């Protein structure tokens, strides 16, 4: 049984509106329902959304401050002033800076650029940078993707005689800087109708205001990169920016973009917003996280293919390094959290700090821990000399992390952000009080329901609905991104027809799902280990995105798995595992994310000869097969004894007797999953279901071998040589003969009784028991999963 990681919800669209719009636009009911559930419920809105170009883009001069900025820049050009572009180190800031460079190059301006170093300087305008600008002869600064909160710094710029034009898109503070002019659609008195522009979107509007129809079409490529990378809503004007940028990018004339697409493994002719988000943006961001963002700016502005290829390669290596750094910190942070919570529950807000946690990636680490534990997470890097900590927070929908930080602002030197993410700095001496204060705040805000993640799906469908034609039609909703995600579909009751792994070391999962006569392939990247949990024949529910697989000129629909669930208890066949204990620990970790909201309990059962694997199986209860009681606890676990419920039951060894099996089923009547990890006995060593012929042959052999008292070990050796039966099997058959008075055992020897009283084999309890043991062993050793599952169910019903 696998519980989905999140609770799936799919909205219900008004069937009348869906039907009417499908008929009006000659589109499928599925596409119509997707549009309606996204708030697009008229044919006019739908056409505008799907095809674009229905409405003209907004006039850039509607942006407050644009009428002041354009003449000031023209004055600087005319008087040959030296201009400074002041940007930010993330992908939006890099794109904004690159776009402004292209504009000032086009205008023939004299200019420099300045982007602060993430680790050494931090976000925003800095007075020392303004001093440097003054030394360079700068008289005008144009900020991009920053500046709206730089009240004191811009006041200082005014003091030293530098004008500042701020272009930004972040939330304006109450106290606005007294710049030459401010351009930000979110300013309270700005009449611009679309408020969702990225920083690069505002810079693009400045370029349009300066050049009008002369603005090169390809600049939309750079605007598209920053818009997607900064997770701006792909609605309204942003859709047109990204749509136009992608169309241009498919035949890009920018050497840097071509090289970046190449190292990202993206085919230029089919580049999408998803490729920008997961291919290009991480490499651009890696520059600012581990090095300096100037390298990424150089890539987006170079005019030389060789330089572009070199820079793209460097960013690709930086991104690989970033991935390794993130992976290391995630492992360290997870271990630190588990150590801190050994004696208690995971706190409502997770706060972790350590030396050597690169401040450039702590936000990514926080996101990964949030995904794993579904708690707000704050990750802090401690400076080894000063003790100052810089960190990032990521939160869940139920908690406004900016408000939580505001509640304990006295403990921090600085903080800023919004409800979902934030940054802060504080001294390490304040960390404990900081974590305590945050969790006190959270205790008054969060309820148990907040800790159950919810995923919004678009529709519940059947596999037969997901054709190639459907996948092609859904492309009309692209570009996909924030506020317009790739459609997610729920499929209930599909059967796993095929399971296999792909890629290096089987890293990725591929399964074939079937419903009736319809089948479809489904992929899950990085989930290859799940193949162990999804044997053929498993009934499964999935949450997935629909895509198109193109290979060798053929095209077919395929699913990208996002989540899954299995509603029936499962048997996992790991019989004959080389290291049963290691495999038990591994499958426990695999199942942990799919344990649902229930308390996760796991148990391991083994024969008394095996030492209890205390260190390898931390967090599991241990049970030992017992010749008298059948099974007994090796460590006390009252919760399991009371409920009989475990998420995972690991059979490190198989039961040796029916009594042990029945005791096992009695103690664990409600196991969600059972992992079979016992060794496989050599064929000759196994018990077989005895027949009368077996005993006839053995009777004749015993008559000749034990006419006089003969040591039992010698008898067994001679019998094993003269028959195909194992010594183990023969020993148990001797138990039957002894019970029926056909032989006598005394002082380690066996003597044949020449004229025994005739008795039926079935009168022997040992004979019946031997048959039961042989049957049990046959199922456990060589039975298929379905045969063993059915047989165990019948035993369980008998026990209950």
Domain ends where: 680, 707, 734? 680
Choice between 117 and 613, residue whose per-residue pLDDT is larger: 117
What token pair was written down for 559? 């699913």
483 and 381 both lie in a single domain: no
Contact 219, 183 (CB under 8 A): no
φ, ψ dihedrals at 615, nearest 5°? -75, -35
Residue 330 resides in a domain: no
Contact 253, 70 (CB under 8 A): no
Widest CA span in the chain: 128
> What's the mean pLDDT in 60-65?
98
Extended beta strands in 576-685, E state = 602-606, 620-626, 630-633, 648-651, 673-676
Contact 133, 84 (CB under 8 A): yes
Contact 394, 376 (CB under 8 A): yes
Q: Is 506 helix (H, G, I), strand (E, B) or coil?
A: helix
DSSP 306-342: HHHHHHHHHHHHHHHHHHHHHHHHHHHHHHHHHHHTT
Judge whether residue 599 has pLDDT over 80: no
Residue 790 resides in a domain: no
Least Cα distance to 84 among 137, 161, 159, 148 occurs for 137
Choice between 439 and 632, residue whose per-residue pLDDT is larger: 439
What token pair was written down for 648? 């995972």
Residue 476 resides in a domain: yes
What token pair was written down for 581? 């204990």
146 and 291 both lie in a single domain: yes
Please report the pLDDT score of residue 550 as a whole number.
84
> What's the mean pLDDT in 216-223?
97
Q: In what order do the strands lie in the sheet with 350-355?
A: 350-355, 377-382, 388-394, 421-427, 414-417
Please report the pLDDT score of residue 158 as a whole number.
97
Please report the pLDDT score of residue 343 as a whole number.
62
- Distance linking the first and last C-alpha atoms of the chain: 21
Please report the pLDDT score of residue 758 as a whole number.
86
65 and 181 both lie in a single domain: yes
- Chain-centroid distance of CA 96 in Å reads 30
Least Cα distance to 399 among 443, 343, 456 occurs for 443
Judge whether residue 401 has pLDDT over 90: yes
Rounded Cα distance, 687 and 670, in Å = 29
Which residue do the tokens 């008298």 mark? Answer: 628
Least Cα distance to 740 among 687, 699, 688 occurs for 699
Query: Looking at residue 706, which CATH number applies to its domain?
Result: 1.10.10
DSSP letter for 2, please. B
Percent of the chain topping pLDDT 70: 97
The listed range with the strongest mean pLDDT (102-111, 547-556, 678-687) is 102-111
pLDDT digits (tens, 9 = 90+) for 88-106: 999 999 999 999 999 999 9
Q: What is the CA radius of gyration of the chain?
A: 35
Contact 601, 640 (CB under 8 A): yes
What token pair was written down for 258? 């071509």
> What's the mean pLDDT in 485-501?
95
pLDDT digits (tens, 9 = 90+) for 361-377: 999 999 999 988 899 99
Please report the pLDDT score of residue 616 as a whole number.
76
Least Cα distance to 417 among 397, 433, 434, 400 occurs for 400
Number of other CB atoms surrounding residue 169 within 10 Å: 26
In angstroms, what CA-CA distances link 659 with 603, 636, 785, 792? 19, 22, 22, 13
The listed range with the strongest mean pLDDT (73-77, 606-610, 664-668) is 73-77
Judge whether residue 39 has pLDDT over 70: yes
Per-residue HEC secondary structure of 200-253 comes to HHHHHHHHHHHHHHHCCCCHHHHHHHHHHHCCCCCCHHHHHHHHHHHHHHCCCC
Q: How confident is the model at residue 55 (pLDDT cuts 50, 70, 90)?
A: low
Q: Is 44 helix (H, G, I), strand (E, B) or coil?
A: helix
Which residue do the tokens 């821990």 mark? Answer: 369
> What's the mean pLDDT in 115-127?
88
Choice between 344 and 63, residue whose per-residue pLDDT is larger: 63
Structural domain range at position 642:
570-680
Rounded Cα distance, 408 and 418, in Å = 15
507 and 648 both lie in a single domain: no
> What's the mean pLDDT in 15-26?
94
Q: Is 555 helix (H, G, I), strand (E, B) or coil?
A: strand
Judge whether residue 724 has pLDDT over 50: yes
Please report the pLDDT score of residue 671 as a whole number.
87
Least Cα distance to 617 among 645, 643, 579 occurs for 579
Rounded Cα distance, 234 and 230, in Å = 11
Q: How confident is the model at residue 289 (pLDDT cuts 50, 70, 90)?
A: confident
Choice between 793 and 776, residue whose per-residue pLDDT is larger: 776
755 and 643 both lie in a single domain: no
Judge whether residue 607 has pLDDT over 70: yes
> What's the mean pLDDT in 154-182?
95
φ, ψ dihedrals at 303, nearest 5°? -110, 10
424 and 475 both lie in a single domain: no
Judge whether residue 142 has pLDDT over 70: yes
173 and 77 both lie in a single domain: yes
397 and 503 both lie in a single domain: no
Residue 372 resides in a domain: yes
For the CA atoms of 204, 206, 207, 213, the dihedral, rounded to the nearest 10 degrees, stands at 100
Q: How confident is the model at residue 446 (pLDDT cuts 50, 70, 90)?
A: very high
Q: Is 259 helix (H, G, I), strand (E, B) or coil?
A: helix
Domain ends where: 680, 698, 714? 680
Judge whether residue 494 has pLDDT over 90: yes
pLDDT digits (tens, 9 = 90+) for 74-85: 999 999 999 999
Percent of the chain topping pLDDT 90: 70
Please report the pLDDT score of residue 636 as a whole number.
66
175 and 103 both lie in a single domain: yes
How would you class 20 by CB atoms within 10 Å of its CB: exposed for 0-12, middle for 13-18, buried for 19 or more? middle
Query: Looking at residue 356, which CATH number applies to its domain?
Result: 3.10.310.30
Rounded Cα distance, 207 and 170, in Å = 19
Residue 252 resides in a domain: yes
575 and 717 both lie in a single domain: no
Judge whether residue 510 has pLDDT over 70: yes
Q: How confident is the model at residue 638 (pLDDT cuts 50, 70, 90)?
A: low
Rounded Cα distance, 33 and 43, in Å = 12
> What's the mean pLDDT in 445-470?
92
Query: Looking at residue 540, which CATH number applies to its domain?
Result: 2.40.50.460
121 and 236 both lie in a single domain: yes
Judge whether residue 523 has pLDDT over 70: yes
Please report the pLDDT score of residue 800 as a whole number.
47
What token pair was written down for 187? 């300013």
pLDDT digits (tens, 9 = 90+) for 667-685: 888 888 999 999 988 777 7
Query: Looking at residue 94, which CATH number applies to its domain?
Result: 3.90.1640.30
- Residues in Cβ contact with 419 at an 8 Å cutoff, skipping those fewer than 6 apart: 395, 400, 401, 402, 403
pLDDT digits (tens, 9 = 90+) for 380-395: 999 999 999 999 999 9
Residue 349 resides in a domain: yes
Domain ends where: 399, 421, 454? 454
Least Cα distance to 366 among 394, 404, 333, 325 occurs for 394
79 and 221 both lie in a single domain: yes
Q: How confident is the model at residue 448 (pLDDT cuts 50, 70, 90)?
A: confident
Contact 74, 131 (CB under 8 A): no
Domain count across the chain: 5
Judge whether residue 282 has pLDDT over 70: yes
Least Cα distance to 60 among 242, 212, 166, 275 occurs for 212
Residue 792 resides in a domain: no
> What's the mean pLDDT in 226-230?
95
Residue 131 resides in a domain: yes
Return the ∠ at Cα 562 (arms to 557 and 567), rounded to 5°: 105
Whole-number mean pLDDT of the chain?
Answer: 91
Q: Is 551 helix (H, G, I), strand (E, B) or coil?
A: strand
Judge whether residue 661 has pLDDT over 50: yes
Specify which residues 500 forms β-bridges with. Answer: 510
Q: H-type helices in 557-601, by residue range?
A: 580-591
Please report the pLDDT score of residue 799 as a whole number.
55
Q: Is 510 helix (H, G, I), strand (E, B) or coil?
A: strand
Per-residue HEC secondary structure of 445-492 comes to CCCHHHHCCEEECCEECCHHHCCHHHHHHHHHHCCCECCECCCEEEEE
Least Cα distance to 287 among 87, 84, 91 occurs for 91
């Amino acid at each position: 049984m696998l519980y989905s990681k999140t609770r799936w919800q799919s909205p219900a669209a008004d069937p009348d509106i869906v039907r009417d719009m499908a008929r009006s636009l000659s589109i499928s009911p599925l596409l119509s329902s997707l549009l309606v559930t996204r708030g697009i419920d008229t044919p006019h809105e739908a056409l505008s959304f799907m095809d674009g170009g229905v409405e003209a883009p907004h006039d850039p001069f509607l942006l407050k401050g644009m009428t002041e900025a354009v003449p000031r820049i023209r004055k600087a050009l005319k008087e040959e002033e030296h201009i400074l572009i002041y940007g930010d180190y993330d992908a939006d800031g890099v794109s904004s800076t690159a776009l402004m460079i292209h504009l000032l190059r086009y205008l023939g301006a004299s200019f420099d650029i300045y982007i602060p170093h993430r680790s050494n300087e931090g976000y925003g305008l800095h007075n020392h940078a303004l001093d440097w600008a003054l030394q360079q002869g700068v008289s005008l600064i144009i900020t991009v993707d920053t500046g709206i909160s730089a009240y004191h710094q811009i006041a200082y710029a005014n003091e030293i005689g530098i004008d500042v034009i701020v272009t930004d898109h972040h939330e304006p503070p109450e106290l606005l800087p007294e710049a030459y002019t401010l351009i930000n659609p979110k300013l309270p008195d700005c009449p611009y109708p679309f408020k969702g522009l990225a920083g690069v979107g505002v810079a693009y509007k400045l370029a349009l205001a300066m050049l009008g129809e002369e603005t090169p079409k390809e600049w939309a490529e750079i605007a598209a990169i920053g818009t997607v990378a900064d997770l701006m809503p792909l609605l309204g004007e942003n859709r047109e920016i990204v749509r136009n940028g992608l169309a241009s990018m498919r035949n890009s004339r920018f050497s840097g973009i071509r090289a970046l697409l190449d190292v990202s493994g993206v085919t230029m002719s089919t580049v999408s917003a998803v490729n920008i988000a997961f291919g290009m943006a991480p490499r651009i961001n890696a520059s600012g996280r581990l090095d300096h963002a100037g390298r990424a700016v150089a890539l987006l502005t170079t005019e030389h293919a060789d330089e572009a290829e070199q820079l793209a390669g460097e960013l690709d290596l930086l991104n690989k390094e970033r991935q390794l750094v993130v992976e290391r910190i995630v492992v360290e942070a997870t271990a630190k959290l588990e150590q801190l919570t050994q004696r208690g529950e995971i706190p409502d807000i997770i706060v972790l700090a350590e030396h050597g946690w690169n401040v450039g990636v702590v936000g990514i680490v926080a996101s990964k821990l949030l995904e794993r534990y579904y708690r707000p997470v704050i990750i802090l890097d401690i400076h080894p000399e000063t003790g100052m900590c810089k960190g990032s927070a990521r939160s869940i929908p139920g908690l406004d992390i900016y408000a939580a930080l505001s509640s304990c602002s006295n403990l921090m030197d600085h903080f800023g952000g919004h409800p979902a993410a934030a940054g802060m700095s504080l001294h390490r001496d304040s960390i404990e009080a900081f974590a305590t204060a945050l969790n006190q705040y959270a205790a008054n805000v969060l309820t148990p329901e907040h800790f159950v993640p919810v995923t919004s799906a678009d529709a519940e469908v059947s596999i037969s609905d997901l054709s190639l034609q459907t996948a092609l039609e859904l492309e009309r909703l692209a570009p996909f991104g924030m506020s317009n995600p790739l459609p997610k579909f729920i499929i209930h009751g599909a059967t796993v027809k095929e399971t296999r792994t792909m890629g290096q070391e089987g890293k990725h999962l591929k399964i074939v799902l079937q419903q009736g006569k319809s089948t479809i392939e489904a992929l899950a990247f990085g989930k290859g280990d799940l193949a162990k949990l999804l044997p053929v024949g498993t009934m499964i529910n999935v949450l997935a995105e629909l895509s198109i697989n193109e290979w060798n000129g053929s095209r077919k629909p395929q699913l990208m798995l996002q989540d899954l669930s299995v509603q029936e208890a499962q048997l996992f066949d790991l019989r004959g595992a080389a290291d049963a204990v290691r495999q038990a620990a591994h499958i426990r970790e695999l199942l942990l994310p799919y344990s649902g909201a229930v308390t996760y309990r796991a148990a391991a059962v083994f024969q008394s000869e095996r030492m209890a694997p205390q260190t390898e199986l931390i967090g599991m209860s241990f049970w030992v097969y017992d010749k008298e009681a059948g099974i007994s606890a090796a460590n006390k676990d009252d919760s399991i004894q009371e409920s009989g419920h475990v998420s995972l039951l690991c059979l490190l060894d198989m039961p040796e007797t029916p009594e042990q099996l029945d005791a096992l089923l009695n103690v664990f009547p409600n196991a969600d999953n059972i992992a079979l990890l016992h060794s496989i006995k050599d064929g000759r060593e196994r018990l077989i279901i005895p027949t009368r012929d077996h005993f006839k042959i053995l009777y004749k052999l015993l008559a000749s071998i034990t006419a006089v008292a003969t040591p039992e070990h010698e008898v067994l050796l001679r019998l094993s040589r003269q028959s195909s039966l194992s010594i183990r099997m023969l020993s148990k058959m001797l138990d039957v003969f002894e019970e029926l008075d056909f032989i006598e055992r005394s002082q380690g020897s066996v003597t044949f009784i020449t004229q025994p009283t005739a008795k039926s084999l079935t009168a022997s309890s040992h004979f019946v028991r031997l048959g039961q043991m042989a049957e049990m062993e046959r199922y456990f050793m060589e039975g298929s999963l379905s045969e063993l599952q059915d047989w165990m169910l019948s035993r369980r019903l008998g026990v209950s």
